[in-house]
A and B are shown apart, each in its own frame.
Chain A
């Protein structure tokens, strides 16, 4: 599972007083951690927003009025609007089959779902060039029939689909496995049909995990750079997504404009993290409430 970190669904343990270090050791370790995170995470994030707004709001908004920026935003939205629903549908179907049933080869299937995580985004792009590129398997046939996939929107959508393929499935599988099948069995016993069981029992149980999976998948779909840059061809106003537009502006020394566009994607990333924290808090709380209701001791 190279590339995945599941949601935390339980509260952390409280340290026992005797098992701790002297105060100077504690504060040294905390300082080292904060310093390290500041150098590689906090400062780059802060820098994006400072550079985006550094020349004032007028320059910031000017970055979005030029036609190339608008077409890049439009293409990014179109790509995400296709890739996210398809991968969500796949994620729910795969999680239902894997978490609610027992069959042979389940672990192999889970590993295969993770496969796109282990593949470099550049290789993901390469795969589609080999299939559809001018000198690829279907290239001559596509040229004859005047169908464009590489250096056009379909290639960008395919590469994004491939790269964001596992995200929803990987959030839902552990969550649904932990929930078991008892509630669904009760619903069926009480006369619900399959769809009713799914909509009224399963979906309410997984909605928070699903929400996070969808939002993470969306952030990755909108931000994908490597795979898309292989298949896009960088045609301004046509095949540039937001990350590619950032690259072009940055290489043109239009620093403020490139950070302005980057700040939108950085904001999306921050929102994703906030949603993740909320979802973890929700799931932990539901877990504790459920524990209380069934009379389990929380300790």
Chain B
């Protein structure tokens, strides 16, 4: 009883293992040096900007507004495509066997390891009007590279692993007795999928969607090459930050950066809430 009360008051539970002080000390020191102090510099810089200037540079400027619309819209479409195809890929990898499955499973992680500049030039070359795929689309008047669809494809590549890798474990942990029960009660396969499997997988699918969306929002490298970067049309918000910095307009760059940061933190919060929700559902 007394130890319980003791441990509740104490910040850290007692342990026989050594090294907490030094490892925690180094962790906090390094994080402060690498992450918090630099971030604090950005926050302080933002605080210097007057509200009117911030509003004019980050919200009402039509070029900036167009870049937000593009970044959010294309990220949303890409995350939706990943939600749909990613679920199918995860399902196929968990449930079916086919030749080359191990290679397919491994390649899903490629976007994590492949530098964005490399995927950027490869996708652009592939979908340009002379490229391996682009040349088949060109006669139909479909332009992918240097246009909106190209941006969506680049963001789809970036977000793909997040959906597949969050849905995969949920499908693996699925209790197959539920499906048997559903089948024995007369449901067909589609009904079982829609009413039994999908609701269980939904929290993971939404988590994967949110992760893919958040990652796409900040993506720069792969989009930079394929977008064509026309002001008001194919210019994403991160590129605009870079352009403002090249003109030494630190205020303009910071204003857009802060807006993007707020959305990044909001998505982090949503992702944590979704994970908490899915953990709770699993335990129930």
Residues of A within 8 A of B (CB): 1-3, 5, 8, 10, 12-13, 15-16, 18-22, 25-26, 29-30, 32-34, 36-37, 39-45, 47-48, 51, 86, 89-90, 93-94, 96-98, 100-104, 109, 111-116, 118-123, 125-131, 133-137, 161-162, 165, 181, 184-185, 188, 193-194, 197-198, 216, 219-220, 222-226, 229-230, 243-244, 246-247, 250, 255, 258-259, 262, 265-266, 268-270, 272-274, 276-277
| Contact call B118/A262, Cβ cutoff below 8 A | yes
Within the complex, what minimum Cβ distance (angstroms) separates B104 from chain A? 6
Q: Which of B37-45, B51-59, B198-206 lies at the interface? A: B37-45
Additional 16 contacts, C-beta under 8 A, given A5-B112, A130-B254, A276-B109: A5-B162, A16-B179, A29-B88, A40-B156, A48-B118, A90-B26, A102-B12, A126-B241, A131-B41, A193-B18, A243-B116, A243-B118, A243-B221, A246-B121, A250-B121, A259-B121
Q: Tell me if A97 and B23 are in contact (CB < 8 A).
A: yes
Q: Which residue of B lies closest to A222 (CB)?
A: B115
CA distance A114 to B179 in the complex (A): 36
Q: Is the CB of B18 within 8 A of A121?
A: no
CA distance A118 to B166 in the complex (A): 17
Q: How many A-B residue pairs have CB under 8 A?
A: 318
Beta-carbon contact of B12 and A185 below 8 Å: no
- Chain B residues closer than 8 Å to A265, beta-carbon distance: 114-115, 117-118
User: Are A5 and B27 in touch, CB under 8 angstroms?
Assistant: no
| Measured CA separation A131–B45 after assembly (Å) | 9
A-chain residues with CB within 8 Å of residue B117 when the two chains form the complex: 223, 225, 243-244, 246-247, 262, 265
User: A residues within 8 A CB of B23?
Assistant: 93-94, 96-97
- B residues near A216, Cβ cutoff 8 Å: 112-113
Residues of B within 8 A of A276 (CB): 106, 109
B16 at the interface (CB under 8 A from A): yes
Could you say which residues of chain B place their CB within 8 Å of the CB of A136? 41, 45, 250
Cβ B92 vs Cβ A30 within 8 A = yes
What is the chain A residue whose CB lies nearest that of B217? Answer: A120
CB distance from A271 to the nearest CB of B (A): 9
Within 8 A of A (CB), among B212-236: 214-215, 217-221, 224-225
Cβ contact within 8 Å between B221 and A230: no
> A272 CA to B26 CA in the complex, in Å?
28
**Which residue among A3, A33, A269 has the maximum number of chain B CB atoms within 10 Å of its CB?**
A33
CA distance A16 to B261 in the complex (A): 46
B79 to chain A, nearest CB (A): 12
Question: With contacts A33-B89, A44-B157 known, is A198 near B19, CB below 8 A?
Answer: yes
Q: Which of B26, B121, B133 lies in contact with A258, CB distance below 8 A? A: B121
